[in-house]
Chain A
Amino acid sequence: MAASSREHVLSLYRLLLKESKKFPSYNYRTYALRRVRDAFRENRTVEDPKVVEELVKRARDGLALIQRQKWSSIIPTIGLRQVKLPACTASVSGVHRCVCVRVCCSVCGGVC
């Protein structure tokens, strides 16, 4: 099934991660990234095509949800600042560790 092909699933995964990084709230952002990674990792070995299709559908719904919700959570956080956690030396690729959000930034809160 083309919809559940490996490439499709991988691109879905990459898209989910990319969208998750756009949450301005530190807690939502880190949760979304962690949850997406763990969910895909957990279901790595699933073979049954019906289950795979169901999971892919859930991933697509999740993606749509993140795309909607990141906007509804950007607006109230204009000007929101939080405590700056010390930068970690072992950083996950592409994820900023700093939690300062000084301006309404639609990319991951990277204005430290």
Chain B
Amino acid sequence: MMNRTLSRKLLGSMCGISNPRLSFAQSAVNTVRELEKDEPRPLYMDFQATTPMDPRVLDAMLPYQVNYYGNPHSRTHAYGWESESAMEKARKQVADLIGADPREIVFTSGATESNNMSIKQLEETIRPDTSLVSIMTVNNEIGVKQPIKEIGHLCRSKNVFFHTDAAQAVGKIPINVNDWKVDLMSISGHKLYGPKGIGALYLRRRPRIRIEPLQSGGGQERGLRSGTVPTPLAVGLGAACEIAQQELEYDHKHVTVLANRLVQKIMAAIPDVVLNGDPDQRYPGCVNLSFAYVEGESLLMALKDVALSSGSACTSASLEPSYVLRAIGTDEDLAHSSIRFGIGRFTTEDEVDYTVEKCVQQVKRLREMSPLWEMVQEGIDIKSIKWTQH
């Protein structure tokens, strides 16, 4: 089944590619394999895909996994009361991080569920033209920050609801939902060193935003999202938010230093490297570089000691180049050779240096093998070549 879909995609979008590339692309998609027996695990440089849990978060969660296991919605005994109070404390911690009121936070299973809940409202309130604007705060592929404050003010003035998916931004840049005039915001737990499987949706109370619940059941979370709130996960999310608030400036400084080191060292060592995305309005931890005359997937495979990605994890199964890069006007060939380096709280200088060294080494090696690169070295302008049809 996989091969049929694969060959259809390839034949559709890449006519005329010779066989070696076909089998190579196949192996790129089928790289779900186990590590060899003694093969060491790679360095982790993919903080946009997910983040490891902070030990402080795990410390906060463990008691609720082991001892305080009550259902937070049980009203009749201490197990329920203590679980509920932990959940409400977590709610407050999440609210404090984004400058909201705890009553405006709904726990969900992740940012995707929060997004779906917000977008569904689009169908409920029919307005003459736009009824909801939805923007990503920080892009997960190139790290660019959107001018949310300006967009928020614009939406408020035009009486349009404004939703933002802040999964990559929460805990990394300062957020205030009132300053930004945001009406709905999606938060993801595992993007800010918290547990996987939990997220939150911020819903403004004044003016009141009404949404239709996605799942119905026992009426938990004020009827907006039925289902038992998983207390240990909620506690983890709350702890992660509190830690993020305390560590925001420190982490930002650390990540900026490391990101600059990575980019400058790579650019100093090899030519024809492009940093995708606005150089100023960006979150430094998401570095997306395009290496000309090198294919992205082959570079990723060559860098097997470092866990990287060539675009967002949610679209990594498809073979198309990143829609984000295409949207910002990157050349097709540069879009195919882009790699995303994710730097986070736990990244060290040694890891960055190692990544730079390996990256430079592999890019040089791959370029040696590339006939296009040979032509460029001889001074031929690639764009002026008329490729003949066979």
A104 to chain B, nearest CB (A): 16
The chain B residues found within 8 Å of chain A, CB to CB, are 38, 40-44, 52, 55-56, 58-59, 62, 250, 305-306, 345-348, 350-351, 354
A100 engages B40 (CB within 8 Å): yes
Contact of A69 among B40, B55, B250 (CB under 8 A): B55
1/0 contact trace for A17-45 toward B, CB 8 Å?
00000010011101110110010000000
Note all chain A residues with C-beta closer than 8 A to B351. Answer: 85
Chain B hits for A34, CB < 8 A: 348
In the complex, A38→B257 CA distance in Å? 15
CB nearest neighbor in B for A65 = B59
Whole-angstrom CA separation of A93 from B370 in the bound complex: 45
Q: What are the 7 A-B residue pairs with the smallest beta carbon separation, nearest first? A: A27-B346, A69-B55, A81-B40, A83-B305, A31-B346, A30-B348, A85-B350
Residues in B with CB closer than 8 Å to A81 are 38, 40-41
Contacts of B58 on A, CB cut-off 8 Å?
69, 72-73
Contact indicator B346/A97 (Cβ below 8 Å): no
Residue interface bits A39-61, CB-to-B below 8 A is 1, else 0? 00000000000000000000000
25 CB-based A-B contacts, threshold 8 Å: A27-B347, A27-B348, A30-B346, A31-B345, A34-B348, A38-B250, A65-B59, A66-B55, A69-B56, A69-B58, A72-B59, A72-B62, A73-B55, A81-B38, A81-B40, A81-B41, A82-B40, A82-B41, A82-B42, A83-B40, A83-B42, A85-B351, A85-B354, A86-B354, A88-B350
Shortest CB distance B177–A (Å): 28
In the complex, A68 has a CB within 8 A of chain B: yes
**Residues of chain A from 75 to 111 with CB closer than 8 A to chain B in the complex:** 80-86, 88, 97, 100
Are B350 and A97 neighbours in the complex by a CB distance under 8 Å? yes
Which residues of B sit under 8 angstroms from A28, Cβ to Cβ?
Answer: 55, 346
Known: A27-B346, A30-B346, A83-B305. A65 touches B55 (CB 8 A): yes
Interface of B is mostly: mixed
Q: CB distance A80 to B41 under 8 Å?
A: yes
Besides the contacts A68-B59, A80-B41, A83-B42, what 18 more A-B pairs have beta carbons closer than 8 Å? A23-B55, A27-B346, A34-B348, A65-B59, A69-B55, A69-B59, A72-B59, A72-B62, A73-B55, A81-B40, A82-B41, A82-B43, A83-B40, A83-B305, A85-B351, A88-B350, A97-B350, A100-B40
**In angstroms, how far is the closest chain B Cβ from the Cβ of A101?**
10
Q: How far is the CA of A30 from the CA of B254 in the complex (A)?
A: 13
Q: Which residues of B contact A23 (CB under 8 A)?
A: 55
Considering the complex, give the chain B residue whose CB is closest to the CB of A88: B350
Cα distance, A68 to B350, chains bound together (Å): 27
Instruction: Contact check, B55 vs A83: say whether CB atoms are below 8 A apart.
Output: no
* Residues of A near any B CB (own CB < 8 A): 23, 26-28, 30-32, 34-35, 38, 65-66, 68-69, 72-73, 80-86, 88, 97, 100
Q: Which of B40, B42, B44, B306 contacts A27 (CB 8 A)?
A: B44
Which residues from A are CB-within-8-Å of B41?
80-83
B306: A residues at CB distance < 8 A: 83
Complex: how many Å from CA A31 to CA B349? 11
Contact partners of B346 in chain A: CB under 8 A: 27-28, 30-31
CB distance from B251 to the nearest CB of A (A): 10
Residues of B within 8 A of A100 (CB): 40
- Quote the shortest CB–CB distance from A58 to chain B (angstroms): 10
Closest Cβ neighbor of B254 among chain A residues: A34
Which residues of the other chain, A, contact B347 by a CB distance below 8 angstroms? 27
Nearest-Cβ distance from residue A27 to partner chain B, whole angstroms: 4
A6 CB → nearest B CB, Å: 25
A83 to B305, CA, bound (A): 7
B19 → chain A, closest Cβ, in Å? Answer: 33
Nearest to B344 among chain A residues (CB) is A27
With contacts A31-B346, A97-B350 known, is A83 near B43, CB below 8 A? yes
Q: Could you tell me if B55 and A84 are in contact, using CB atoms closer than 8 angstroms? A: no
**Chain A residue with Cβ nearest B351:** A85
Specify the chain A residue showing the minimal Cβ separation from B44.
A27
- Once bound together, how far apart are the Cα atoms of A65 and B286, in whole Å? 30
Contacts of A30 in B (CB 8 A): 346, 348
